[in-house]
Amino acid sequence: MTPRSVILGCSGIRLTDDERAFFRDADPLGFILFARNIETPEQARQLTDDLRSSVGRAEAPVLIDQEGGRVARLKPPHWRKAPPARLLGELYERDPERGLEATRLNSRLLAADVASIGCDVDCLPVLDIAFPETHAVIGDRAYTAVPESVAALGRAAAEGLLAEGVMPVIKHIPGHGRATVDSHHSLPRVDASREVLERADFLPFKLLSDLPWAMTAHVLYSAIDAVAALTISARGVQEIVRGYIGFDGFLLSDDLSMQALGGGLGERAARALEAGCDIALHCNGQSKEMQAVVAVVGSMSSAASRRFEAGRHYLARHRAPLGTTDLADARKNLSSLLPEWG
């Protein structure tokens, strides 16, 4: 059977009996972990195993946001503290070659950490541009203010993840940097012209449109759609993401439990899929919300299944041969480029 076109979170560090039964019947494509789900390496690995077991698919993707800096679900003392994107961008501005190498090494180490607990998708790199008005919810998660530099660093980050067998996710397509409010709480509105957006915000995504997975921005761009956020805008997804940017990969909505979209959870999920997202992403693990989403979400479309499988092939082609990574050397080399961050 084709899995349902949704990725879900869970409530805590262990699956409850009710969650096991719900996931078995709902058959989501995969799952996403947050800090609330992480306690120890052994516990986290058991949880990912149990999530996959609940749907009877050992290959079900398990996602995590392990960017470094403020956005890290895996934290000391069990896992390495990684630098924020802005620090890597600052190194790149001083020395592009060293900045790219540090970014690539850092991502290989991030990938090793997430893979150690069974996660195979890391929601990284952030391709949002750092503008003077950029809200703190993005803040130092953005590499730089230069679109071409953001693309170069994002490419290096994706390469590091892919080399270790972890799927990257470019986000937040087509660009969250101009948002001046936090989309977790309200809907950002961006009134820049399409010409300005194409020249800056959209450019990193266009340059990395060959990458296999992307996540949408819950942002309303008035030059594209005057009434709907990109995630639920058919014009935004089809004309901008699929059309102008040229992204034909696997497209996830950003978290539907964020408050930017308004309406009920079922309505949000239905509108995201109708707009052209391949997958509805719901993260908070709250049972009633998940039930509302699952009630309106059917099996993955043939186009979504094709894009998902294409992503698997892409990952296989770009993964480094097994046994070629020396993590101790990677940490040492990163420390030589960014002292205290190896």
Q: Any idea which residues carry the catalytic annotation?
A: 184, 254
Residue type, position 152, single letter: A
According to DSSP, the residues that pair with 189 across neighbouring strands are 220
Residue the block writes with tokens 């266009």 = 206
Q: Say how many residues make up the chain.
A: 342
Q: Which two tokens stand for residue 175?
A: 């660009």
Q: Which two tokens stand for residue 219?
A: 């942002």
Instruction: Give DSSP secondary structure letters for 159-180.
Output: HHHHHTT-EE-EEEET--TT--
Name the residue among 257, 289, 328 with its Cα closest to residue 105: 328
Cα Rg of the chain, angstroms: 19
Q: Which two tokens stand for residue 283?
A: 């993260």
Q: Which two tokens stand for residue 259?
A: 């408050």
Please say whether the beta carbons of 91 and 153 come within 8 A: no
Name the residue among 90, 105, 127, 32 with its Cα closest to residue 336: 105
Q: How far apart are alpha carbons 271 and 260 in whole angstroms? A: 13
Q: Which two tokens stand for residue 26?
A: 């709902």
Give the residue ranges of DSSP H helices in the chain.
17-26, 41-55, 85-94, 96-116, 147-163, 194-199, 203-207, 234-235, 265-275, 287-296, 302-318, 327-337
